[in-house]
Amino acid sequence: MKKSYKNGSIFFLIALMFLCIKGNAQLDLPRGSQKAKVSQRIGITDISISYSRPAVKDREVWGKLVPYGMNNLGFGTAKESPWRAGANENTVIKFTNDVKIEGQPISAGKYGLHMIITEGDKATVIFSKNYEAWGSYFYEPSEDALRVEVTTKEIPHTEELTYLFSQVDANSAVASLNWEKKQIPFKIEVDVTNTVLADIRHKLQNSPGFNRQTWEQAANFSLNNGGDLDEALGWIDATIEGMFFSQKTFNNLSTKAKILAKQGKKAEADAVMDEALGLATIFEVHGYGRQLIAQGEKEKALEVFKMNAKKNKGQWPVDYGLARAYSAMGDNKTALKHLKIAAQRAPDQQNKDAIAANITKLENGEGIN
C-alpha cells in the first residue's frame, strides 16, 4: 500500500509539473502585426518608439477598425479607452532626457502612447505613465503624463502602420504615425544646450573629469553654444593651472582668450592670446591666422603670419600663410611671390595641387581666401 501511494504521489507531482509548464509556455511565433522600433537622437537625447505594425488589408480603418473618440473595448478595467496607436501591447515612447511635446514639457522616461482620433483633421496624443499594460484595455486617465492636440494630414496610402521622424534639426524633430491615408504628427523639442551642460557638469564630477581635454571640451561647448561664460572660464582655468592635470597649451589659452573677448575684456584677451602664440606650433599659428582673416581682421592676420615666418623661417607652410594674408590685404603681387615659394616647399601632391589652383586665381586677379 505504501509503495502504491508513493508511486501515485510521484505521478501526481510529475503531471502537475507538466501542467504548469504547459500553462506558462510562451512560444516565439510570427505575429500578424510585426514588432518594430524607430529612434532618433536630438543633441544627446535619444527618442525611441516601440510598436506593432498592423496592415490595412483592404479594411476601412478610420471610424471603423479604429473607432472615433473614446470607446468601451469590452475587456479590461477601462470604461472608455483611446486607441493603442498600434497593435498588441502598449506602443511605448521613450525619452532619455526631458523634452517638450508640441511646446509642453514632459520628463525623461517611458510612456504608453495612445491616441484619440476624431472625424476631420484633429487628434489627441496621450502619453501615459503606464507603459506596461496590454493595449488600451487598462487605460486610466489619472495616469496621463501629458495630452496634446494635433492636426492630422492626408498622405499617400501606407499599408503597414509606420512611425517615423522627419523635419529633424539641431533642436527638434517631428514624430508621426502614418497609416492608410492619415498622418498624425507631433513635434518633439529638446533644450540641447542646457541638456548637454547638465550632462557635462555630471561627468566632470566622475571619471571623465580626470582628463584635461574633457574640461577643455566643456569650456568650448559652453563658449560656442550660449552657456554661462563665467562657468566656462572656470572650466578652462582648471586646465591651465590648479589641477593635477593642468598644463598651459595653445588650445586652452586660446580658448580662454575667446571667452574673455566674448565677455568684453579685450585687453585681457589679447594678453592671453599673445601667451598662447608663444606656445603654438607652426600649424596652430597658421590656423589662427586663417581664423583672423575669416573674421575680417586682415591686418592682425598679416602680423601673425609674419611672426610665424620669422619664428619658423624656411618651413612649410609659412609662405602659404603670408600669401593668404597679402591676398586679404588686396596685394596680389606679393601674395603671388610667396605662393610660388610655397609651391616649392609643399610636402605632398594634394597641397601642390591646391597651391597651383590658387596661383591661377591670383594670376587672374582673384583672391585666395
What are the cell numbers at 197?
Answer: 551642460
The pLDDT assigned to 5 comes to 34
Beta-carbon contacts of residue 105 (< 8 Å; ≥ 6 apart): 98, 99
Higher per-residue pLDDT: 3 or 94:
94
Phi-psi region of 115 (alpha: psi -120 to 50; beta: other; left: phi over 0): beta
% of the chain beyond a pLDDT of 90: 90
Give the integer Cα–Cα distance in Å for 199 and 193.
Answer: 10
* pLDDT one-digit tens code per residue, 39-90: 999 999 999 999 999 999 999 999 999 999 999 999 999 999 999 999 999 9
DSSP H/E element including 185: strand 172-189
The pLDDT assigned to 84 comes to 96
Asked if pLDDT for residue 259 goes beyond 80, the answer is yes
The pLDDT assigned to 7 comes to 40
Mean residue pLDDT of the chain comes to: 92
Pairing of strands 109-117, 122-128: antiparallel
Please state the rounded mean pLDDT for residues 298-324. 95
DSSP H/E element including 174: strand 172-189
Least confident of 1-10, 95-104, 228-237, 337-346: 1-10
The DSSP call for residue 62 is B
Beta-carbon contacts of residue 119 (< 8 Å; ≥ 6 apart): 63, 68
Beta-carbon contacts of residue 364 (< 8 Å; ≥ 6 apart): none
What's the sign of the alpha-carbon dihedral 264, 268, 271, 277? Answer: negative
Helix (H, G, I), strand (E, B) or coil at 266: helix
Please state the rounded mean pLDDT for residues 247-257. 97
Give the integer Cα–Cα distance in Å for 172 and 221.
Answer: 19
The pLDDT assigned to 25 comes to 54
Cell 527638434 found at: 172
The pLDDT assigned to 26 comes to 73
Please, which pLDDT band fits residue 9 given cuts at 50, 70 and 90? Answer: very low
Asked whether 182 and 154 are in contact (CB, 8 A), the reply is yes
